[in-house]
Amino acid sequence: IVSDVIDLTGDDKDDLQRAIALSLEESNRAFRETVLEASIAENKASLKRTHTEVWSDSPNPHDRKRQENCHVGLKNVGNTCWFSAVIQSLFNLLEFQRLVLHYPPPARMQDLPRNQKEHRNLPFMQELRCLFSLLVGSKRKYVDPSRAVEILKDAFKSSESQQQDVSEFTHKLLDWLEDAFQIKPKNPMVDLFYGRFLAVGVLEGKKFENTEMFGQYPLQVNGFKDLHECLEAAMIEGEIESVHSAENSAKSGQEHWFTELPPVLTFELSRFEFNQTLGRPEKIHNKLEFPSMLYMDRYMDRNRDITRIKREEIRRLKEHLTVLQQRLERYLSYGSGPKRFPLADVLQFAMEFASSKPVCTSPVEDIDTTAPPVFLCMDYSTGEQPDASVPPEGSGSGPQAQQQQQQQQPQRVSIHKPFTQSRVPPDLPMHPAPRHITEEELRVLEGCLHRWRSEVENDTGDLQASISRIHRTIELMYSDKSMMQVPYRLHAVLVHEGQANAGHYWAYIFDPHQQRWMKYNDISVTKSSWEELVRDSFGGYRNASAYCLMYIDDKKPFLIEGNLIFIFRSVVADLWCDWHADWPMRVLEAMMTPNMQGVIMAIGKSRSVYDKCGPEAAFFKAMKVEYTRLLRFAQEDTPPERDYRLHHVIVYFIHNQVPKKIVERTLLMQFADRNLGFDERYEKQFACSHYFIFNCTLSFKNDLMLLLLAQMWHQDYRKFRDTTVFLLIGLELFLKKSYVESLMYLIYAYQYNKELLAKGPYRGHDEELIAHYRRECLLKVNEHAAALFETGEETEVNTGLSIMNELVVACIPLLLVDEMEENDMVAVEDMRNRWCSYLGQEMEPNLQEKLTDFLPKLLDCSTEIRSFHDPPKLPSYSTLELCERYGRVMTSLTLSRTPADGR
C-alpha cells in the first residue's frame, strides 16, 4: 500500500513521474469509458433522477475536453450527486487543498498502520489526494471519483439505489479526516472545522457552565424566517430568564455562547422531520433567508452582557410591535361579520352614498304603485282581446251593475308577461342614494365622515410608520461597529431538490478570483449568480432548498488564497517530465503571476529546444515566446476596460518605451525567482536596490545609472497601480451613490494621475474621465451638504457644514488651479450660487450666523492648495482581481453613459 502513495509535494522525481503516469492512464481510459458509461447511465433508471442531462457523457470525446480556465466537475457514478456537492465545497477551500495534497504518508516501517482505523485512513487519503490532483490538473472537464466512493462505502447506511444521508456522510468524512491527521502534534483538520461554545444554564435551580466542541452546528428551520432567528433559537433553550436572574428558581434552561469559532463555520439546516401521523419523513419547504456576510459578534461569549441587553430590548420592541399590529389590523379589517374592510374605505363609501343624487328610471312621478295588476283576458269565441279600459255595453257603475257585468263576461285566462310584470318600479333610483335627506343633514354628515376618515387615515399612517420604525430599529440593533468585528463570508451552499426520500444535490460555491458564484452540478460546472442561488436555496421554489451553509472567516484570506506551488506542478508536470536539472523546477515554482497561461505556453514551446540545445537555450526560448505574447498585447488597441498595462508590467514598459535592458531583466525575474509574482510584493522587492543588484549580471551591476532608472520605472508602475486602485474604489462608491466616501478617492486618483501624465502620455489614465467624475462627485457632495443645512436641525446643519469645510472648500482650489478647464470653473460657480441663494431667505438666527461664518471660506478665490487628509489606505488586490474589478466598473460607466436608444 505504501509503495502506491504518490507524493506530489516533495522533490522526488519518481513520485512526479508516477503522477504523470496516473494522469496518462486517466486520459487513456477516456475512449473506453465513452461506450461503457452510456450503458451505465441507462442502467440507473431505478434512481428516478430528473437531472440525467448533467452527468451523462457525450459520445464525442472533444466535448469531454476541459476548456481553458474552467473548473473540473465530478462524474455521477450512481446516485452520488451528494458526494460531488460535499467534495467540491471542500476542494474549493484552498487551505483544505493544501492539507490533503500535502498529506504525509508513512515513510518508515515503524510508521505503518497498526490498527483498523489507520489501515482505513491511508487508502482513503491516498484516493482523496489522487482525486484532488485530478481536479487540479486533469485535461478533461470532469473526473471519475469511483475509487474514492468505493473506499468511503463504509460511511453509507443505505444501498446504492437509495438516496444517501448526506449529513451523515459529511460528519463521517470529517471524522475520517480528523483521524487521518492525528499523526501531527496539532490536528489541522480540528483547527479548520471545529470550534467551541460555552453552555451556561440552570438545571433544577442550580447553575452550571460547560465547554463543548462542535463541528457542523445544527439549526432548526421550521418556524423561522432567516438564519439569525435560527441561531437565536439554537443559542437559547428553555426558561432562560432564570439563567441571569438573581432568584434561585427551579426553572431550567441554558444559553450557548461561542468561545472559539473555526475558520470554516458550517451550519447544518434541519429540513427533514418525521411525520408521526403518516409514519414517514417529510421535507420542510419553508423559506429561510441567509446573508452573504454573517457577523457572529452577538453570539460570542465576550459580548454576552451587551447581547443580553440588546435581546431584552428586541423582546420589548417585538411586544410593542405586536400591540401596534393588532391595532392596525382593527383599522384595516373593520366589521363584525365574516367580511371585513378597511375602515377608511367604509367611511369613504358612506360619504359617497350620502352625497349621491337619486336618478329615477322613468320621468313619471305620480304612479299608484298600490293598484292591483291588470289581467288581460282573451275572448275565445271571437279570438279577440277586449280592451280592459272600456266597460261592456250597458254596464253601470253600481255594485249591482258590477255583479251583472261579471256574470255576463266570458271566462278569462291570465297571460304571463315576464318583461311587463318583473320590470323595476319606475321610481327606484339607478344607483343607491338616500330617499330623504336635507341639505343641512347632508352638510353635517359629510363633515363628520370626512373628519372621521381623515382621523382614521392619520391613525393608520402613524401606526404603519411606528411599525416600520420598530422593524428598522430591530434590523439595526447589531449594526454598530463593535458588533461587526467577527465577519464570516458565505463560501458554499449545498442544495437539495426533491422530497425526504429522494432528490438531487448540487452546490453553489463562490469563486474569489472571478468574484462570482459557480454552480457545481455533477460534471456540469457553470457560472451562476446570487439571484439564482437565492431562488434555489432559500426555499419555496421547485422543492429546492439549502441543507448546508459553509461560511469562512473573512479575516483569514489564506483559506481561499495562497501560493499553491504544487498546483502548478500538477498542471504542467507533463511539460517537464524529462528535465533532470534542478533549475527548471525553480522556474516552475516561480509561476506566481496570475497570468500563468502565458508562462505555461512559453515553457511548452521551449521543450523541443531543450531536447536539441539544452536547458539554457530552452529557457531563453521560453522568455522570447513570453515577450512576443506581451508585445502583441501592447500593440492592441483596446478599450479602457481591457487595459493590458494592468495585466503585466512589461506591457506598461513597452507602452512607455522603457530601455530594453530593464524589460529583459524584469522578464528574467518573472522566470527565475520563485518568490516573485507581478503583484504588490513583486513591486516592493524589485524597487529594493540591493535585491535588484543581487539578481543582476556583473555588467548590469556596474551600471548604476541604469539601476536607478529601473527603480524609477518600477516606482512609476507602482504609482500607476495605486492610481488605478484609487480610481476603481472611487468609481465603485460613486456608482453606489456614496458620494462623500467616493470623493477623496477620486481626488487622489486625479492628483496621482496628473503627476504620472506629466512624465508621459501613456503613464496614467484618461485625465478627462477622472476630472469628470471628480467634478460630478463634488457637485453631489455639495448638494447633499446643502440638503442637510436646509433641514434646520442642529446636528444635520453641523454635519453639512463640516462636509463643506473639510471636503468641498478644500477641493475647490484644485479645480481653480487649472483655469483652462471650463467645466470645473462652471461647477465651482454652481456650488457657490447654491449657498449664496440662502442669503435672501428667512432663517433662525443661529443658522444665519453659521452661514455668515461659512460663506467667506466658500467664496475665497485663492488657488492655494490646502493640506488634505492622508490618502485613504488602499487594499491589496491581486492583479487578476484588480483587472476584473476595473473592467467591470469601466463597463458600468460605459453603459450608464450610453443613450437609451443605443446610439
The residue among 806, 801, 831, 805 whose CA lies nearest residue 816 is 831
**Is 765 an annotated catalytic residue?**
no
Question: Can you tell me which residue has the cell 479602457?
Answer: 640
Query: What does the block give as the cell for 227?
Result: 438564519
Are the beta carbons of 158 and 165 closer than 8 angstroms? yes
Distances (CA, A) of 438 to 361, 435, 443, 444: 22, 10, 9, 10
Are the beta carbons of 598 and 683 closer than 8 angstroms? no
Measure the N-to-C terminal CA separation of the chain; round to a whole number of Å.
69
The burial of 862, by beta-carbon neighbours within 10 Å (0-12 exposed, 13-18 middle, 19 or more buried), is given as exposed
Distance of alpha carbon 599 from alpha carbon 589, whole angstroms = 11
Strand partners, 360: 429
The residue among 238, 203, 78 whose CA lies nearest residue 144 is 78
Long-range contacts (CB closer than 8 Å, 24 or more residues apart) made by 308-316: 308/244, 310/477, 310/478, 311/232, 313/477, 314/474, 314/477
> From the candidates 496, 648, 765, 784, which is the catalytic residue?
496
DSSP state at residue 502: E
Distance of alpha carbon 265 from alpha carbon 260, whole angstroms = 11
Please give the single-letter amino acid code of residue 220.
Answer: Q
The residue among 619, 621, 611 whose CA lies nearest residue 671 is 619
Distance of alpha carbon 72 from alpha carbon 140, whole angstroms = 7
Residue 48: CB atoms within 10 A of its CB come to: 12
**Is 436 an annotated catalytic residue?**
no
Question: Can you tell me which residue has the cell 482513503?
Answer: 124
Provide DSSP, 135-200.
Answer: HHH-SBSEE--HHHHHHGGGG--S-TTS---HHHHHHHHHHHHHHHTTTSSS-HHHHHH-EEEEEE
Question: How do 216-220 and 264-270 pair as beta strands?
Answer: parallel
Specify the 3-state DSSP secondary structure of 258: strand
Specify the 3-state DSSP secondary structure of 71: coil
Specify the 3-state DSSP secondary structure of 795: helix
Are the beta carbons of 886 and 641 closer than 8 angstroms? yes
> From the candidates 256, 491, 504, 648, which is the catalytic residue?
504
Strand partners, 282: 273
Question: How do 272-275 and 502-511 pair as beta strands?
Answer: unpaired
Strand partners, 507: 494, 520
Question: How do 516-521 and 236-238 pair as beta strands?
Answer: unpaired
The residue among 276, 22, 28, 249 whose CA lies nearest residue 137 is 22
> From the candidates 81, 777, 811, 883, which is the catalytic residue?
81
Please give the single-letter amino acid code of residue 852.
Answer: T
Phi, psi of 661 (to 5 degrees): -65, -35
Query: What does the block give as the cell for 547?
Result: 441543507
**Is 647 an annotated catalytic residue?**
no
Helix (H) or strand (E) holding 548: strand 544-553
Distance of alpha carbon 903 from alpha carbon 896, whole angstroms = 13
Phi, psi of 425 (to 5 degrees): -55, 145
Specify the 3-state DSSP secondary structure of 878: coil
Distance of alpha carbon 664 from alpha carbon 674, whole angstroms = 17
Question: How do 293-295 and 487-499 pair as beta strands?
Answer: antiparallel
- Which are the contacts of 831, defined by CB distance < 8 A and separation ≥ 6? 778, 779, 782, 808, 812, 858
The sign of the torsion formed by the CA atoms of 812, 818, 823, 825 equals positive
The residue among 595, 587, 726, 600 whose CA lies nearest residue 650 is 595
Q: What residues are annotated to the active site?
A: 81, 496, 504
